[in-house]
Amino acid sequence: MEDKELEEIKKRKMKELIRKMEYPKEPVEVTDSTFKDFVKKYPVVIVDCWAGWCGPCLILAPIIENLAKKFAGKIVFGKLNVDKNPKIPHEYGIMSIPTLLVFKNGKLVDRIIGAMPEPILEEKLSKYL
């Protein structure tokens, strides 16, 4: 009985390790055509909807990069340029940027609008783990 339990634990741990290795440690560029598959691929996904001319978006960019490293293996971050990919912002009714779309198991569960300091954003995102 113990051998069987130990084997199950080993299998579970191996799956966790493989999953962590497969998780990107930096934001992934997302497009209108890759968006749906991307949000379904991982349990928790944050998509940063941004544009190059948006000051708050540029302030948020390095914060998103840091959080992608901190949450590696737990949360995957995507970046969607709203100027180059108008379909998804229209579909989700995005009126202001930056907007972070929070997906859990492929379903939109929250949206966070505006730039904010890293510790505040980290706290907001931690509740989705």
Q: Is residue 62 part of a domain?
A: yes
Tokens 């108008």 map to which residue? 86
**Total domains present in the chain:** 1
10-63: pLDDT as tens digits: 877 776 665 555 789 999 999 999 999 999 999 999 999 999 999 999 999 999
Does 8 reside within a domain? Answer: no
- Which CATH number do you get for residue 47? 3.40.30.10
Inside any domain, residue 2: no
Q: Is there a domain that residue 71 lies in?
A: yes
Active-site choice (57, 80, 82, 88): 57
Q: Find the DSSP H helices in 23-117.
A: 35-41, 55-70, 87-91
Domain assignment of residue 12, yes or no:
no
| Alpha-carbon distances, residue 87 vs 56, 60, 76, 80 (angstroms) | 22, 22, 21, 11
Sole residue written with tokens 């980290």: 122
Is 87 inside any structural domain? yes
Residue 91, domain member (yes or no): yes
Model confidence pLDDT, tens digit, residues 62-82? 999 999 999 998 999 999 999
Is 49 a known active-site residue?
Answer: no
Catalytic residue among 44, 46, 47, 54: 54
Active site residue 57: yes
